[in-house]
Structure 1
Amino acid sequence: MQYRRFGRTELQIPVFSCGGMRYQHSWKDEPGWKVPKASQDNLDATIRRSIELGINHIETARGYGTSELQLGRILPTFPRHQLIIQTKVAPKENAKEFRKTFEQSLRNLNLDYVDLLGIHGINTPELLEFTLRPGGCLDIARQLQEQGKVKFVGFSTHGPTDLIVETIQTDQFDYVNLHWYYINQFNWPAIEAATHHDVGVFIISPSDKGGMLYKPSPKLVELCQPLSPMVFNDLFCLSHPLVHTLSLGAARPSDFDEHLKTLELLDQAETLLPSILERLQAAAIATLGEDWVNTWHQGLPTHEQTPGNINIPIILWLRNLALAYDMQEYAKMRYNLLGQASHWFPGQKATHLSDFDLSECLQTSPHADKIPALLSQTHSQLGGQSIQRLSQS
């Protein structure tokens, strides 16, 4: 395993982290006796495999159902100083609830302290205010640090880039969990801000939210040769030294195997990546047109600025992926999540477009005249049954 300095924490963190949102028995809180032996055995085997590989950063959250509870059965069997344990707790309007939730996490994990506590889901200005205001969640986190229950405090986010940058620039956080990978590079300014403030950078879900790369389209497989799409994406992310660790979201011990192929290629990134990047860009231009590829995102309104709360940037982005790389399954999954995931994936689908006049909100887009038709086409191609976030299922 290779390790990188995790910002101001000074922790040597593995370049792969064992994310804890896919190996648990249930997304709902259930008593331990309801966890089947087979589920616990699988989780135990996954954690043992992780530690054997040198992936000693285990990441979970209070919102991941039985994940913490099941981890609490295996983590105390390892020397504590060899582990880097992160859990995450959502900000609350009532900071006392935040403390109570964290204390439950610590009991579930069967630990005296966690190395990393993430304020989970600073996705809106209101949630940032809940965190930072006097007597808010961050003040509680500082008290937990003083009590020795938490070593470092960070935050996770699915929010817009400007909000992430604003949160980092408060200089109150030791690390950030955010989305950034080949198909979604919009948060690079936040990574640069994190580097400026010496904040650790943890990449959320590069293989799932990064394109469902465990079941890629044949076209994507061809374009990424001689690497698998998963290894390409890992290498792309880790070729940037500003990125410190990628969450693998393992559901079983074998889920580490494909990612491990990346390690021996890290010093070959400058040789391997350029030709793949050129093919991916060429494929997008051949399908979508060079002008669109270079300018589609310019002048687009946010969903808050759009009639019907339609998330135009996300819809056009998903259209691009579906057409350029045949990523229809991924695009459909994400598109049908719109309207179902609150601030975790905000905005609405392009339904009932005839009810809305988009001309004003699109007036600064170079493609204003054709975007309404593209939204309608995309809805016809991707629309279907609404999908819930995993934590709601």
Structure 2
Amino acid sequence: MIYRDFQNLKLSALGMGAMRLPVIDGNDAQIDKEAAAEMVAYAMEHGINYYDTAWGYHDGNSETVLGEALGRYPRDSFYLATKFPGYDLSNMDKAEPIFEAQLKKCGVDYFDFYLFHNICEMNIDAYLDEKYGIFDYLMEQKKKGRIRHLGFSAHGSYDVMKRFLDAYGEHMEFCQIQLNYLDWSFQNAGAKVELLNSYHIPVWVMEPLRGGKLAALPEENAAVLKELRPEEEIPAWAFRFLQSVPGVTMVLSGMSDSEQLKENIRTYEEDKPLKDKEMTALLEMAERMVKKIALPCTACHYCVSHCPKGLDIPSLLELYNEHCFTGGGFLAPMALMAVPEEKRPGACIGCRSCEAVCPQQIKISEAMADFTAKLNA
């Protein structure tokens, strides 16, 4: 196992995420405790020392199951991370009771790593609102030693991350973002990495395989990679990419069965960062993958000046592309929660004024109608 330096710690470069533990009969709330414990045992035996869970994972059961599995080992033999669930605005005034409950669920006296969960458009105002006292409470727990290292995770835009960093950046020790070779440009992840590097904040990675999409590729794309590294398995390319990104310290993988765990551990037996030629080929391939589905909006904003409803069409198309490429998911609906009803896709009246000035000749009105239908499905 490769290890990375973080302050005075040696962290396994691969961490085990507990969002996709094995379940019984396809029921996400019913974790297969025996199978999960076996996976944790294998991970511990093969050098993984970082484990990540959260309040809402597996319908609230992940913290308990992971805590029980890790409870079989000395407390100083692993690092445990969980998060304050700010993805639900009703939790904002409950920092203390939630934190106390998390300690009990996990069966520990302290958390090695604790995060503000999911900084995004929907919750940034509440996270920064002093009346909730979330930041002050968590800083107090850190002073008491009940939180050893404090950070945040973000699914929001670059600008949202910048707002959070401007407020609390000097106190953040690490940041977890969605980072993979597909999202390097598609979700502006490359710029987010640069932002974190400018604050000297180490990067934690979630979704390295983008929910499994990068574990198996169409034959035409797989052939490109196999020609460059015949011996490398396709999923390993996602991890080799991350081994090549400056600032990346921890890579979390939500492995749902033992075979995935074993394969990823084999990959992390050595560092094999990409050469320039390999990096170029990989990112060009990712761009082709996105272009097959995404609308070619260049954010020129000509459409905005001609929209009688004043919709931020480029931003809406960006969310539409994400929603289409992912096949649904929570990112677009979550971002739209911060947008007034009269500025959402459903507000489009189909007048096509925007289309008359679109250099890319995008059928914007059809996209807005389709987006609305997908969101309501």
TM-score normalised over the length of structure 2: 0.78
Q: Please list, as runs of the form range in 1=range in 2, the aligned pairs for 1:283-362 lying within 5 A after superposition.
A: 283=288, 296-299=297-300, 306=311, 311-316=316-321, 331=325, 333-334=327-328, 341-343=333-335, 355=350, 359=354
1:358 and 1:372 in contact (8 A); partners too = no
Determine helix, strand or coil for the equivalent of 1:68: helix
Equivalent in 365, 369, 372 of residue 362 of structure 2? 372
Letter in 1 for 2:190: W
| Counterpart check, 1:117 vs 2:114 | yes
Task: Please report how far the alpha carbon of residue 129 of structure 1 lies from its aligned counterpart in structure 2 after TM superposition.
Answer: 4.3
2:21 and 2:255 in contact (8 A); partners too = yes
Partner of 2:245: 240
Determine helix, strand or coil for the equivalent of 2:197: helix
Q: Summarize the Cα distance change of 1:20–1:94 in structure 2 as closer, same or farther, 3 Å threshold.
A: closer
Q: Summarize the Cα distance change of 1:62–1:287 in structure 2 as closer, same or farther, 3 Å threshold.
A: closer
Distance 1:278 1:89 in 2: 34
Q: Which runs of 5+ in 2 are unaligned?
A: none
Summarize deviations over 1:283-338 as a string: whole Å, max 9, x none. 579979xxx98xx4443699x9736897212334677xxxxxxxxxxx2613x757
Q: Please list, as runs of the form range in 1=range in 2, the aligned pairs for 1:143-162 lying within 5 A after superposition.
A: 143-162=140-159
Distance 2:314 2:273 in 1: 44
2:240 and 2:273 in contact (8 A); partners too = no
2:2 and 2:271 in contact (8 A); partners too = no
Determine helix, strand or coil for the equivalent of 2:327: helix
1:121 and 1:157 in contact (8 A); partners too = yes
Equivalent in 36, 43, 57 of residue 50 of structure 1? 43
Partner of 2:209: 207
Letter in 1 for 2:193: I
1:117 and 1:150 in contact (8 A); partners too = yes
Partner of 1:5: 5
Letter in 1 for 2:35: N
Task: Please report how far the alpha carbon of residue 121 of structure 1 lies from its aligned counterpart in structure 2 after TM superposition.
Answer: 1.5
- Mean Cα displacement is larger for which, 62-71 or 367-376? 367-376
Partner of 1:253: 258
Partner of 2:61: 66
Distance 1:377 1:188 in 2: 27
1:24 and 1:66 in contact (8 A); partners too = no
Task: Please report how far the alpha carbon of residue 141 of structure 1 lies from its aligned counterpart in structure 2 after TM superposition.
Answer: 0.4
Partner of 1:172: 171
Partner of 1:21: 19
Q: Summarize the Cα distance change of 1:57–1:282 in structure 2 as closer, same or farther, 3 Å threshold.
A: closer
Distance 1:222 1:164 in 2: 37
- Which of the two has greater strand per residue? 2
Task: Please report how far the alpha carbon of residue 213 of structure 1 lies from its aligned counterpart in structure 2 after TM superposition.
Answer: 2.1
Distance 2:353 2:175 in 1: 35
Letter in 1 for 2:5: R
Letter in 2 for 1:217: P
Task: Please report how far the alpha carbon of residue 199 of structure 1 lies from its aligned counterpart in structure 2 after TM superposition.
Answer: 1.7
Letter in 2 for 1:172: H
Aligned residues: percent identity? 17
- Mean Cα displacement is larger for which, 48-57 or 165-174? 165-174
Q: Summarize the Cα distance change of 1:384–1:213 in structure 2 as closer, same or farther, 3 Å threshold.
A: farther
Letter in 2 for 1:145: K
Task: Please report how far the alpha carbon of residue 172 of structure 1 lies from its aligned counterpart in structure 2 after TM superposition.
Answer: 2.3
TM-score normalised over the length of structure 1: 0.75
Partner of 2:83: 88
Task: Please report how far the alpha carbon of residue 352 of structure 1 lies from its aligned counterpart in structure 2 after TM superposition.
Answer: 8.5
Distance 1:387 1:13 in 2: 43
Letter in 1 for 2:141: L
Letter in 2 for 1:18: M
Q: Which runs of 5+ in 1 are unaligned?
A: 29-34, 320-330, 389-393
Task: Please report how far the alpha carbon of residue 191 of structure 1 lies from its aligned counterpart in structure 2 after TM superposition.
Answer: 1.9
Partner of 1:270: 275
Determine helix, strand or coil for the equivalent of 1:121: strand
1:338 and 1:346 in contact (8 A); partners too = no
Partner of 1:187: 189
Partner of 1:326: none
Distance 1:95 1:351 in 2: 29
1:206 and 1:246 in contact (8 A); partners too = yes
Determine helix, strand or coil for the equivalent of 1:220: helix
Partner of 1:391: none
Letter in 2 for 1:299: C
Task: Please report how far the alpha carbon of residue 379 of structure 1 lies from its aligned counterpart in structure 2 after TM superposition.
Answer: 7.6
1:145 and 1:152 in contact (8 A); partners too = yes
Summarize deviations over 1:86-112 as a string: whole Å, max 9, x none. 001123577551111111111110111
Q: Summarize the Cα distance change of 1:68–1:155 in structure 2 as closer, same or farther, 3 Å threshold.
A: same
Determine helix, strand or coil for the equivalent of 1:119: strand
| Counterpart check, 1:139 vs 2:136 | yes
Q: Summarize the Cα distance change of 1:103–1:317 in structure 2 as closer, same or farther, 3 Å threshold.
A: closer
Distance 1:231 1:375 in 2: 40
Letter in 2 for 1:250: M
Distance 1:51 1:237 in 2: 22
> What's the Cα RMSD here?
3.9
